[in-house]
């Protein structure tokens, strides 16, 4: 009983002598504001970087043209993804999830629900942003005068190097293969060796614009697969990168 | 003051009636000590941590929402203080993504044990609890000894409600195994 009284008395004494003080309400208000501010910051950061990844792969580098190769094309896109940016997004998502877990609606349910929920939300929002001209405008702004802070990001990822992928215009077709010329640099030509009967099946003609996957050995490319495209977007600057 | 709820007393403290805090200490001192005793054995440590918990409760009382349950809030503070103290002692950090909290579990229904069964388990907990890992020990204590429901335990431990159910089930199983080993009667 004595012990009980002593604890109560001890605490009351500390309160009376101002040894312990209540933190003012403003302390919690500011903490909540700071917390919400950082949550918004991470939220915007995730949407920005994820939509930028979409922009880099599909708009700036026309990666969707590779989907025509099926599994091999998807595999090529996968290995050429900007993994450093993806890592940043993953870290941000984990931090965001930890912040979200402070709220009752999040921690009372299994983590997988909130995690899946925010991943779907971020993908949808980022895809929507990617469909707008937001990143294109920033890219153009950077081209014109240089954007502070984020400008180098647009320069670094302007050309994604899709491994073993080449693009050009067909200049000659023969029994053993064909020749292609870089669209933005007509001085560069490659000979492409193909498997038997390949030309017949693909109905390839001079003037066709093609994307091809193959192993390059000096000026000869051993073809693995090929797809014809209507737009030359994918090919712009791509030949020059391959020759570096 | 006897008729006032914990929340009403907390509101009085918030508005400047500092001495009313002693009523909250009076009401919760034994409960918090009993709760701490399930995690610590040293009497001095228990006394110190109980005092720390009440000091933390007082300094943070303005963050308490009087529309919510005071007991859940003070147990949350106690949980944090105890976990921090144990972490310092055992150097065994708890993971954020515990597998139990990651995925949904089918056993989420709150169990309504009969009073006699609850009393039996309560007795067993007092005898065999020390051997049970912390993450199963705590929900057992909060449910069978402190009388919190699944939702309140979820709020104290910040884990999904279904995880509380799973940990209680596993905890009871462990309790039975330990009691059997020690030849202590366990009815379930």
pLDDT tens, B66-98?
999 999 999 999 999 998 888 877 665 555 567
A21: left (phi over 0), alpha (psi -120 to 50) or beta: beta
Among the partner residues A11, A25, A113, nearest to B62 by beta-carbon distance:
A25
For A174-221, the pLDDT digits (tens) are: 878 889 888 777 777 888 888 877 766 678 888 888 888 888 888 888
Q: Which residue has the higher pLDDT, B174 or A41?
A: A41
Instruction: Please tell me the distance from the alpha carbon of residue A139 to that of residue A142, in angstroms, as a whole number.
Output: 5
Banded pLDDT at A102 (limits 50, 70, 90): very high
Per-chain mean pLDDT for chain A: 86
Q: What is the dihedral of CA B50, B81, B18, B33, to 10 degrees?
A: -20
Residues 42-61, chain B, touching A (beta carbon < 8 A): 47, 50-51, 54-55, 58-61
* Pairwise CB contact (< 8 Å): A107 & B151: no
Please measure the distance between the N-terminal and C-terminal CA atoms of chain B and give it in whole angstroms: 41
Q: What is the dihedral of CA B108, B112, B113, B114, to 10 degrees?
A: -170
Q: Which residues of A128-146 are buried (b: 16+ CB within 10 A; e: fewer)?
A: ebbeeeebeebbeebeeee
Contacts of A195 (CB under 8 A, 6+ apart): A223
CB atoms inside a 10 Å sphere around CB A190: 22
Smallest Cα distance from B107 to chain A, Å: 13
What's the longest Cα–Cα distance across chain B? 54
Pick from A3, A5, A11 the residue to mutate for testing the B interface (most B CBs within 10 Å). Answer: A11
**R_g (Cα) of chain A, nearest Å:** 29
B101: which chain A residues are within 8 Å (Cβ-Cβ)?
110-111
* Pairwise CB contact (< 8 Å): B55 & A20: yes
Say whether pLDDT at A45 is over 70. Answer: yes
Topology given in CATH for the domain delimited by B6-90: Rna Polymerase Sigma Factor; Chain: A (1.10.1740)
Q: Where do you find CATH 1.10.10.10 in chain B?
A: 99-181
- Give the DSSP letter of residue A182: E
Pairing type for strands A177-182 and A209-217 reads unpaired
Q: Does the global pTM surpass 0.95? A: no
pLDDT for the residue A241: 42
* Pairwise CB contact (< 8 Å): A110 & B160: yes
* Pairwise CB contact (< 8 Å): B162 & A110: yes
Residue found by looking up tokens 């400047």 in the block = B16
pLDDT for the residue A240: 42
Banded pLDDT at A244 (limits 50, 70, 90): very low
pLDDT for the residue A114: 93
Say whether pLDDT at A235 is over 50. Answer: yes
Contacts of B12 (CB under 8 A, 6+ apart): B4, B20
Smallest Cα distance from B123 to chain A, Å: 24
Instruction: Please tell me the distance from the alpha carbon of residue B85 to that of residue B52, in angstroms, as a whole number.
Output: 11
B84 touches chain A (CB under 8 A): no
Q: Where do you find CATH 1.10.1740.10 in chain B?
A: 6-90
A18: which chain B residues are within 8 Å (Cβ-Cβ)?
none
* Pairwise CB contact (< 8 Å): B62 & A23: yes
If 0-12 CB within 10 Å is exposed, 13-18 middle and 19+ buried, where does residue A102 land?
Answer: exposed
Instruction: Please tell me the distance from the alpha carbon of residue A157 to that of residue A58, in angstroms, as a whole number.
Output: 12
Smallest Cα distance from B133 to chain A, Å: 21
φ and ψ of A184, to 5 deg: -95, 10
Segments of chain B with pLDDT less than 70? 1, 90-97, 106-116, 122-124, 183-188
| CA–CA distances in Å: residue A43 to residues A114, A128, A133, A201 | 14, 15, 20, 49
* Pairwise CB contact (< 8 Å): A111 & B160: yes
φ and ψ of A154, to 5 deg: -70, -30
pLDDT for the residue B91: 60
Pick from A10, A16, A22, A29 the residue to mutate for testing the B interface (most B CBs within 10 Å). Answer: A22
The CATH number that domain B99-181 falls under is: 1.10.10.10
Domains of chain A, each with CATH number or no CATH: 27-156 (no CATH), 165-243 (2.40.50.140)
Give yes or no for a contact between A224 and A153, defined as CB atoms under 8 angstroms apart: no
pLDDT for the residue A5: 58
A7: which chain B residues are within 8 Å (Cβ-Cβ)?
25, 29, 47, 50-51, 54
Instruction: Please tell me the distance from the alpha carbon of residue B13 to that of residue B5, in angstroms, as a whole number.
Output: 13
For A10-22, the pLDDT digits (tens) are: 999 999 898 999 9
Among the partner residues B14, B51, B61, nearest to A10 by beta-carbon distance:
B51
Among the listed residues B152, B156, B164, B158, the one whose alpha carbon sits nearest the alpha carbon of residue B104: B164
Instruction: Please tell me the distance from the alpha carbon of residue B73 to that of residue B75, in angstroms, as a whole number.
Output: 5
pLDDT for the residue B96: 53
Instruction: Please tell me the distance from the alpha carbon of residue B60 to that of residue B14, in angstroms, as a whole number.
Output: 10
B25: which chain A residues are within 8 Å (Cβ-Cβ)?
7-8, 11-12
pLDDT for the residue A242: 45
Say whether pLDDT at A126 is over 90. Answer: yes
pLDDT for the residue B95: 53
Say whether pLDDT at A1 is over 50. Answer: no
* Pairwise CB contact (< 8 Å): B22 & A8: yes
């Amino acid at each position: 009983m004595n012990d009980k009284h002593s604890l109560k008395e001890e605490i009351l004494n500390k309160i009376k002598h101002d040894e312990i003080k209540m933190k003012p309400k403003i302390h919690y208000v500011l903490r909540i504001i700071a917390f919400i501010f950082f949550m918004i910051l991470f939220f915007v950061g995730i949407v920005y970087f994820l939509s930028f990844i979409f922009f880099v792969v599909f708009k700036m580098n026309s990666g969707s043209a590779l989907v025509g190769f099926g599994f091999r094309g998807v595999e090529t896109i996968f290995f050429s993804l900007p993994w450093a940016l993806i890592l940043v997004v993953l870290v941000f998502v984990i931090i965001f999830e930890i912040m979200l877990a402070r709220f009752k609606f999040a921690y009372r349910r299994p983590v997988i629900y909130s995690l899946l929920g925010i991943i779907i939300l971020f993908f949808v929002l980022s895809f929507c942003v990617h469909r707008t001209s937001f990143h294109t405008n920033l890219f153009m702004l950077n081209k014109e005068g240089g954007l502070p802070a984020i400008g180098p990001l647009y320069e670094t990822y302007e050309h994604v190097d899709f491994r073993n992928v080449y693009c050009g215009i067909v200049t000659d077709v023969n029994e053993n293969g064909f020749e292609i010329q870089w669209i933005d640099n007509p001085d560069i030509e490659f000979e492409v060796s193909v498997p038997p009967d390949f030309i017949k099946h693909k109905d390839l003609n001079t003037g066709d614009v093609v994307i091809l996957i193959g192993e390059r050995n000096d000026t000869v490319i051993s073809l693995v697969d090929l797809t014809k495209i209507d737009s030359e977007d994918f090919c712009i600057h791509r030949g020059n990168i391959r020759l570096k | 003051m006897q008729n006032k709820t914990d929340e009403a007393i907390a509101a009085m403290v918030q508005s400047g009636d500092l001495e009313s805090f002693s009523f909250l200490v009076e009401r919760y001192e034994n409960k918090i000590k009993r709760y701490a005793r399930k995690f610590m054995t040293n009497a001095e440590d228990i006394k110190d941590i109980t005092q720390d918990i009440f000091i933390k409760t007082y300094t943070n009382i303005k963050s308490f929402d009087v529309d919510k349950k005071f007991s859940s809030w003070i147990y949350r503070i106690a949980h944090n203080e105890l976990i921090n103290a144990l972490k310092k002692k055992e150097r065994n950090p708890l993971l954020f993504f515990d597998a139990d909290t990651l995925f949904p579990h089918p056993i989420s229904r709150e169990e309504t044990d009969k009073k006699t069964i609850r009393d039996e388990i309560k007795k067993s907990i007092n005898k065999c609890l020390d051997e049970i890992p912390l993450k199963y020990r705590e929900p057992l204590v909060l449910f069978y000894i402190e009388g919190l429901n699944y939702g309140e335990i979820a709020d104290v431990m910040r884990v999904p409600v279904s995880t509380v159910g799973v940990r209680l089930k596993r905890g009871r199983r462990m309790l039975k195994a330990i009691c059997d080993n020690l030849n202590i009667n366990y009815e379930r």
